Structure 1
Amino acid sequence: MVSPAPSNTESAEARQIKQTAYHHGNLRRAIIDAALEAIMESGPAGWSLRELARRAGVSHAAPAHHFGDKAGLLTAVAAEGFEVFANALERAADDVLDVGVAYVRFAIDHRPYFEVMFRPELYRMDDPSLQTARERAAHVLVTSAGRLSPGPAQNRLTTIAGWSLAHGFASLWLSGALPETAHGDPEALARSVIRLLFGTTRG
Structure 2
Amino acid sequence: MAYHHGDLRRTLMAAAADAVAESGAAAISLRELARRAGVSNAAPTHHFGDKAGLLTALAAEGYDLLADTVTGARLSGGGIVEMGVAYVRFAMEHPGHFEVMFHPALHRADDEELPAARARAGDALAAGVAEYVGRRPEEGDAETARIAAWSLVHGHATLVLTGAVRTGDPQARTRAIARLLFPEDAAR
Coarse TM-score class (shorter-chain normalised): 0.7 to 0.9
Task: Confirm or deny: 8 A CA contact 1:97 1:200 kept in the other structure.
Answer: no
Give the aligned partner of residue 23 of structure 2.
Answer: 42
1:128 has 2:112 as partner: yes
Give the aligned partner of residue 110 of structure 1.
Answer: 94
The amino acid across from 1:132 in the alignment is A
Deviation at residue 68 of structure 1 after TM alignment: 0.7
The amino acid across from 2:165 in the alignment is L
Counterpart CA distance in 1 for 2:183 and 2:109 is: 35
Counterpart CA distance in 2 for 1:72 and 1:160 is: 29
Task: Confirm or deny: 8 A CA contact 1:78 1:117 kept in the other structure.
Answer: yes
Give the aligned partner of residue 159 of structure 1.
Answer: 146
String of CA shifts for 1:78-132, please: whole Å, max 9, x gaps.
1111111111011011321111110010000111111111111111255333222
In the superposition, relative to structure 1, how do residues 171 and 154 fare at CA in structure 2: closer, same or farther (>3 Å)?
Answer: same
| 1:63 corresponds to which of 44, 48, 73 | 44
Deviation at residue 31 of structure 1 after TM alignment: 1.6
Match runs of 1:140-159 below 5 Å? 140-146=124-130, 147-148=132-133, 150=137, 154-159=141-146
* Identity across the alignment (%): 53
- What value does the CA root-mean-square deviation take over the aligned residues? 2.2
In the superposition, relative to structure 1, how do residues 80 and 139 fare at CA in structure 2: closer, same or farther (>3 Å)?
Answer: same
Secondary structure of the equivalent of 2:28? coil
In the superposition, relative to structure 1, how do residues 67 and 91 fare at CA in structure 2: closer, same or farther (>3 Å)?
Answer: same
1:80 has 2:80 as partner: no
The amino acid across from 1:157 in the alignment is T
In the superposition, relative to structure 1, how do residues 113 and 49 fare at CA in structure 2: closer, same or farther (>3 Å)?
Answer: same
Secondary structure of the equivalent of 1:127? coil
Higher relative contact order (CA 8 A, sep 6+): 2
String of CA shifts for 1:5-58, please: whole Å, max 9, x gaps.
xxxxxxxxxxxxxxxxxx953222222122112101111111221222122221
Give the aligned partner of residue 165 of structure 2.
Answer: 178
Normalising by structure 2, report the TM-score: 0.86
Task: Confirm or deny: 8 A CA contact 1:74 1:122 kept in the other structure.
Answer: yes
Secondary structure of the equivalent of 1:45? helix
Unmatched 5+ stretches in structure 1: 3-22
Deviation at residue 153 of structure 1 after TM alignment: 5.9
In the superposition, relative to structure 1, how do residues 145 and 33 fare at CA in structure 2: closer, same or farther (>3 Å)?
Answer: same
Unmatched 5+ stretches in structure 2: none
The amino acid across from 2:99 in the alignment is E
Deviates more, 1:24-33 or 1:91-100: 24-33
Task: Confirm or deny: 8 A CA contact 1:173 1:186 kept in the other structure.
Answer: yes
| 1:91 corresponds to which of 72, 75, 91 | 72
